[in-house]
Amino acid sequence: MSDKKLWSGRFSEPTDAFVEAFTASVEFDQRLYRYDIQGSIAHATMLARAGILSVAERDSIIAGLERIREQIESGQFDWSVELEDVHMNVEARLTSAIGDAGKKLHTGRSRNDQVATDVRLYLRDEIEIIRAEILRLQRALLDKAEQEAETILPGFTHLQTAQPVTFGHHLMAWFEMLERDRERLADCNKRVNIMPLGSAALAGTTYPIDRHYTAELLGFERPSENSLDAVSDRDFAIEFSAAAALIMMHLSRMSEELIIWSSAQFNFINLSDSFCTGSSIMPQKKNPDVPELVRGKTGRIFGHLIGLLTLMKGQPLAYNKDNQEDKEPLFDTVDNLKGSLKVFADMIPAITCKPESMREAALKGFATATDLADYLVRKGTPFRDAHEVVGKAVALGVSKGCDLAELSLEELRGFSERIDADVYSVLTLEGSVAARDHIGGTAPAQVRAAIGRARARLAGQ
């Protein structure tokens, strides 16, 4: 295969060796080979239908491209930095193999619309893979939530004990985060699934191409409307990166809770040894490395989003070489997002709860104080007055070192004569969670109902 530049006719001097290496992208964009070949086969098919290629030329090109795909996948393809990128490597090999017909493949297109098409095809596939991983994680959460629908732990605000909730309810909060993420990616894919091919360098082409037919062959919703925008647009990559950043933010929040919960100070859960590591010096340590690493990778994904926004902010229309810098952050975002989702989906089923520790923690911090206030309101006390009464009762509990449920009826009635013996039914943890018996509430019956609705939403996905 010749390493002669396919665009060298204009130039009288060879490219400086360092510049050649500096400007090449083949080391990272070769991962697009499958999509580059897919796009080229569709383009050749369209050119033949339009009468620009003969049937024999089309067949020769398609057969040659399929052989190249096989060579790449079997490791028999030598990538050349001198040929700059995946597109020129494939085209040069094709021309070397089939002759002049290979030189005709680039009719009616440019590397500008070619690479934009390749990246969209790539991202379209990756979005479906990522959505499937989110779905797998969601199903793992549903299974675990169902197991723990009645397990009580303290709910927090400001990381201070607020009210008792069930662990199943907490896991369903994670589920809802991921459901928004899955929907967001589906919406993002609508804008990914638009075809730039046929826009050529920036102005379209003089050949009688049929872009609708090419879009149909490649499974795109439609061809792009404006050639200038089509070759220079990277909104779709930025939008995906923003969606990825949100997913990672959610995974990072989950990671933070898993890290806290698995600590000796909380002791709410046990992470499987398969997802932890030890210390090189402290033999007692069991470090939650997987959630810590996911939490760390979140910053990396955030950085890629900002990098892509910054990459595009100063570019005039249309294509500029700057856009070569879009692929590495995009590829890295995809790889790390898929890895993070996969490890989470594997890790969630292996989590073991420690309900005794959770319950003990929920009994601290006066988690049922709001229940006492609600009890007084139902007895006719205005809420603000009830709030003050309960505050005084809590103060007594603090001074005595006991929970509200451990105060005597006489002590409680000292703050309000409306308090009777039935108050203790609302001061228990079970009574507290059971009382939140409405859609979205933490009552075990409502958690199970939410799980049922969630399973119905995921049915057939």
- What tokens were used for 241? 């990166």
The Cα 118–Cα 387 span in angstroms is 62
For residue 160, report the phi and psi dihedrals to the nearest 5 degrees: -110, 145
- Which one of 8, 54, 96, 279 is the catalytic residue? 279
- Which one of 12, 74, 158, 274 is the catalytic residue? 158
Q: Report the SS3 class of residue 360.
A: helix
The Cα 305–Cα 294 span in angstroms is 17
The Cα 382–Cα 232 span in angstroms is 63
Q: 422-452: b or e for each residue (b if 16 or more CB lie within 10 Å)? A: ebeebbbbebbbbbbeeeebbbbebbeebbe
- Pair 3, 83: CB distance under 8 Å: yes
The Cα 168–Cα 141 span in angstroms is 9
- Pair 164, 367: CB distance under 8 Å: yes
The Cα 10–Cα 343 span in angstroms is 51
The answer to whether residue 250 is catalytic is no
CA gyration radius, the chain = 30
The answer to whether residue 43 is catalytic is no
The Cα 179–Cα 177 span in angstroms is 6
CA dihedral of residues 226, 230, 235, 239 (deg, nearest 10):
100
- Pair 334, 124: CB distance under 8 Å: no
Which residues on adjacent β-strands are paired with residue 155?
163
- What tokens were used for 388? 């003050």
| Residues forming the active site | 158, 279
